[in-house]
Structures are given as C-alpha cells and as structure tokens.
Copies of this chain bind each other. A is one copy, B any other.
Amino acid sequence: MLTRLGLVTAVACLAACPALAEQYLVHTQAEYSEIARQVEAGDEIILANGEWRDFDLVITGMGREDAPIVLKAQEPGQVILTGLSSLRLGGEYVTVSGLVFRDGFSPRGEVVSFRVSKHNQASHSRVTQVVIDGFSKPDRYESDYWVGIYGHDNWLDRNFLANKTNKGVTLAVRLDTEESRENDHRIEYNYFGPRAVLGSNGGETLRIGTSHYSMFNSNTVVAYNVFDRTGGEVEIISSKSGGNVFRGNVFRAARGTLTLRHGDNNVVEGNVFLGEGADYTGGIRVINRGQTVRGNYMEGLRGEAFSSALAIMNGVPNSPVNRYVEVEGARIENNTIVDSRRVAFNVGADEERSAAPSSSTFKNNVLSGLEGESFLEVYGDISGIAMAGNQVGKGGVAAALAELNPSLPELVRGENGLLYPADPELSGVGAPRDLRVIGLDEVGPGWYPKPGAATEFGSSGKVIEVEAGQGALAQAVMAAEPGDVLKLAAGEYMVERTLPLTTTLSIIGAGADETVVMFARPSLVELREGGNLRLAGLTIDGARAPDSVGNSVIRTGVYPIQSNLRVELDEIAVRNLDVNKSFSVLTLGKSTLADRVSIKNSAFQNISGTIVSAAAETEDYGQYNVEYLDISNNAFANVGGPIASIYRGGRDESTFGPNVTITGNALTNVGLAPTNGTGGSVNLHGVQIAAIEGNAVSGSAPFRVVHTVGTPKTRIADNTFAATGEFILEELVFDGEHRAVLSGNEFADGGDK
C-alpha cells in the first residue's frame, strides 16, 4: 500500500495516520483511481494542473458536514478535462471545485452527474466553480444533460455553463427516485451563458422534474443566477414539479420564458428579464395551481403568445399530468412589465383548453407595452382573476380589461437601473425599489471570462486585398481571421479547390459587373465549424464547375457542424449553374442549422437547382436547417428548383422558427425543372412565420406552403402572378381552412386573392 501511495504526493500526512484528514496531489488517472478508492471524510484530492484527457472521473464516499470529501483543482481553472470526459459524484458531503470541461464531450448521458449509479446518488454535495464550455456532443441531435442533479440537499453554485450546441437540457433536476423529491437543492450564482437556437425540441437551459413526477414537490431553489442569451428553444426554464423557488435571477436577451409547466405552489419572485429588444424574448408563463409571481421586472421583451412577458394560460379540465392543469389560486402581484410586446390572459384557449383561471389575483402591477401595438390581450374568461391597483402605460388594451385605462405617469430609472413610476404615490406598485440586479461579475467563477458578442462580418477591421492570381483567393481564405474582409479586384478569379471556411469572413468584389469568381470543384465554399460567409459585389459563375449532379456554390460538408451558421449574399450575381441538374446556390445538410441566411439585391440566372435548400431534415423529428431566411429584392430567372426549399417536419412545438421573409423579388421561369420534387417556386413546409410579399412572378411554379403544428403565421400579400399556377396551400394537422393570410395578390389570368 505504501509503495502505491508513493506514486502521489501526500501533502499533509501519509496514509499511516488515518485519523487525520489527508491531502493528495495526483498527476495521473491511475493515481486518482488508487486514491479515490480510499478517501475518507475530510480528505482532499487535488488534481494537478494540466490537461486530463478522456477522464471518467468518479468521486464518492461518506463525508461529514464538518469534514467533507473534497475534489479540487490544484489551481482553480488550471485543470482541464478534455476529450471523452465526465464527472460523477456519489455518497454524502462531497465537494468538487475548480475544474474546466472543454474541447471534448461526455461519452455518457451527462457531463456532471450527482449520482454514480442509480443506487448511489449524491446528497449534501456541492459542485462549485466548475466550467463546462462548449463541451457538446458533435451530433447536435444526440442528447445529453450537462448537469444532472439527483439525490437531495445538493448545491450547484458559481459554475459556468455556456455554448451547449447539442440537444438536451443544460441542467436537469431529476425526481425519478423517492430520495430525490423534496430535495432542497440550491442552484445559485451560476452563469448560464449563450445557448444558440437548437432548431428542435430539447434546448431548455434548466428543467426541474418531468411531467411524470410533477405531482411531487421538488422544493428546489434557483436563485441569483444569470441566464445570458440562453435561447435554445421556447422554454428557458421548465419547472415541472412543485414547491420550487425562482428568486433574483437575471435573464438577458434570452429567448423564451420561465415556464411553470407542471406542478403547483411555485414561487417566482424578484427576477429581472431584460429582453434588449431581441426576438421572442419572454418572461413568465403561468400554468397549474397556487403559483406566486411577484416582484419581477421585465423590460424590452418582444415575445408574444407562449413567449409573452407574462402569459397566463387556460387549462384542460381534469387535465392529465402531461397536458395543461388549469390556473387556480395564482397570485400575480407587484410585477413591472415595461417596453414589452405582450401580456396575455387565457393563452392557448381552445376546445381542449377550456378552463379559465380561477381564484387568482392580479394586483399592483406596472404594465406598459409598445406604442401603437396591442399589449394586454385576453382570449377567454378572466372573471376568475381579481384585478386591483394595476397601472397601465402604453399599448393597446383588450376590451375585457377596459377598466385598466392607460394612465401610468412618467417612469424614471432607479439606482438599480430599472424603471419605476416617478410618482411617489405609486411606490407600492410594481417591482420593489430595492430589487437587486445580479451582475455578470457575481456569477460563475471569477477566473473564467464571460463570452462577448458573436463576431460580426467585417468586425476585425482588417481588409485584405486579394489579386486574381492562381490560388491566391484560396490561400487568403485559409489564412483569414474572424471578422476579416477579403477585397477582390476587378477581373476573373478562378478557384481550383473548394474553400473550407472555419471563420467569419466577408469576400467583397469590385462590383458584380467587375469581379467574377469561377470554380472548378462541385462547390466554391464548404462551410465548416465556425464558418460564416458574406459575399458582396461580385459575380459567381458556375460554368467551369464539374459536370456532375448536385453541385452547390456554398454548402455544408460531411463533418459535423455544431455552431449555427450565417450566410449573407448582397449585391451579387450568380449565373450558369447549369452544367448538370440540381446545381444549387446554398445547400444546408443534415444536422446543420443556419441562424441567419440573407440574400438581397442580387440577380440569379440559369440555375438548375435551388437557391436555398434547407430541407435535409426529412425524418419529421421536428428538426430544421435554418432559423431566419430573408430573400429580398432579388431577380431570379430560369431557376429549375424553388428559390427556397425549407422543411420543418414533425409535430413538436418547442421552436420559434423557421422564420422566412421573401419580399420584393422578381421570379421568371422558376421552379419548373422536372427535378423539382416539391413542385413550387417557393416551398415552405412547417415554417412558423412566413411573409411572402410584393413579389412579381411570371411563368413559374406556384408558391407552396404546408402548415404543420402550432399557430404558423403565413402572410402572402401584394404579389403579382402571370402564367403561374394558384397557391398550393395545405394544413397537415389543423382541422380547417388553410390559415395563411392572403391579401392583394393579383393573377394576370384572373382570380385575384
């Protein structure tokens, strides 16, 4: 035994004196295994600074309140777990701190798990100052949790969890054993950093319980955390159990809401939601019995419906656990909601969800929306909600709330930076004056920097001139750094190899009439991890591309891409993509998601395939390939496929997108190739929001819009059509007429719509 211990440095005392706590500094996984087997209460295992690769780290044992078992980094932040690594805690009074998970992913279902096995769950244990940064599975649709909390009385505090790109809740509190209910866990002062749009269900940041165990109390406290750009899907926090407290958390530019999805008697108080005007930013969604929502502050939120600043839902009478229990006995008081799009009552009211809120109060709230927009909306019976003392400012008010006359006096910012009525007589209305807004410096480990804004096109300030010589453009692309601009001269650039793009890059020509880029491979650009592309002021000519089917000017490749892509085309011309069939402009492949694709002020001519193909996810799992697509003010002539082919199948309602805008384009002879299986010049399947307006279409295939689940909003307006068929509109789930809004469309052959 002693010889084995010789492997490690016993800092305090050798193994021979067991009564005293030990400190072990370990350097290898083998040493760790040896030591971990024998730790006792009060012992400390210290991982040596450096990289620990493929480390299946397990710490378990019986610590005591006054003598926990400690696993920590030699120096906080200097112990890096990479590759296929994970951490599991078992036993009692175990504390882990100072580790960084980076450059890899967990081979298990969790990165950090508060159980070693089903029969050894941790209790009275703590994980603090641990970083999990981008430690995502490479397949974005392979699910895991980053942290799974089991057992009871555990404490997760001051950790950093950011940049999860794969499916699955970032942090899950599990109630699937008896000991893990009424658990009194505390989740405090953590930094939940950016979580990009997932493009499917499973992008929540925090979930407590599941519908299956939602009749149990979890009694988990979630306090003083920051949720910074945690926009994975419609729910930021999904509370699916009772007795939880959400207090003093700050949400910044975070899409979605804190949702009291299942379970009763939760308290949501003193939280601050700052939407910063970002799309789909919401506040709190109330469902179930006995919920308390008080003293919260919302500003700059832009969500509506389920994603409103405040959404009070209708329920299902005698609801099964996995549907919507009616709101009963809710206390919604002293909240401030300003500069926000929507507060909505009886949300989701339909034949099934017919039970209106009852025995509830809605008092002393400050409510102010957006000038000229509907603000306070009511979709059912609100007689079960007692209203008093609310102060209303800007925005439209539903007739049912006519008593709430807009009368709110001036708002002024308090010392905490939040808005309050200037009128001292209103001091008892709205959020508390002393509400504390937790800062970024107060959450997560201080030694790990919080992420800044994403790199924008051209943000490096560096402009690199690239001459037309052989291979010069390829070399420049390889050498580019984030935010760089490559400036092409007038003339012809022949590119003999596909350009793999791994950074945010702009390629700007001297004008579409001046700079011509040709390419000899099936693609000009292959988007890879980290790749974002802006093309402007040039012509792409496909005449030299190989005579093979399925070429694409820009495409994703065979390697997985975890990050969300951006592609912008502005004032370019694209021509002669017709050496073979199905030659497209942009093709987004399986398991990729473009956050934003924008095509503007450009001309496309003689193209055998599709302009934007974002239709690789055909399995109806609710996944899709583009969040925002904007095609505006372009001319399309002789295009075989559709200008946009967007597919979002399945019946899941957890996503906001896709969101498609197609305005002000001219389409001539588009979509009529026999290889266009979709049969449309525009083909949208399952798109959530679509505006197709002001386009002039002639001699083309019809627009095709298929609605799936949810409440898709499609507007097709003010388009003109000549020698083009009627719209093809289909509802796959909704039982009724197609819900697209049609207005001001003119068909030269008659039949305006």
Contacts and interface: CB of A to CB of B under 8 A. Distances in A.
Interface of A: 56, 84, 107-109, 117, 138-139, 141-143, 202, 470-471, 474, 496-498, 520-522, 546, 548-550, 557-560, 582, 589-591, 618-621, 675, 677
B497 A107 contact: yes
A546 B109 contact: yes
B108 A496 contact: yes
B621 A546 contact: no
Contacts of A557: 138-139
A621 B107 contact: no
Nearest to A475: B56
B108 A548 contact: no
Given A108-B520, A109-B496, 15 more contacts: A108-B497, A117-B470, A138-B557, A139-B557, A139-B558, A141-B550, A142-B522, A143-B546, A550-B619, A558-B591, A582-B619, A582-B621, A618-B618, A620-B675, A620-B677
Classify the secondary structure of A's interface with B. loop
B559 A138 contact: yes
Oligomer copy total: 2
Contacts of A497: 84, 107-108
A143 B550 CA distance: 11
A137 to B, nearest CB: 9
A654 to B, nearest CB: 13
A210 B426 CA distance: 86
A100 B628 CA distance: 47
A557 B471 CA distance: 34
A478 to B, nearest CB: 9
Contacts of A559: 138, 558-560
Contacts of A589: 590
Contacts of A675: 620
A546 B143 CA distance: 9
Nearest to A86: B497
Nearest to A494: B117
A395 B661 CA distance: 68
Contacts of A548: 143, 202
A618 B521 CA distance: 23
B143 A522 contact: yes
A522 B143 CA distance: 8
A32 to B, nearest CB: 15
A560 B546 CA distance: 22
A148 to B, nearest CB: 12
Q: Max chain B CB contacts within 10 Å: which of A548, A559, A677?
A: A548
Contacts of A560: 558-559
A138 B139 CA distance: 17
11 contacts: A56-B471, A107-B474, A107-B498, A138-B559, A142-B522, A202-B548, A558-B591, A582-B619, A582-B621, A589-B590, A618-B618
A497 B56 CA distance: 11
A108 B497 CA distance: 5
A618 B589 CA distance: 13
Nearest to A650: B549
A276 to B, nearest CB: 33
A141 B546 CA distance: 13
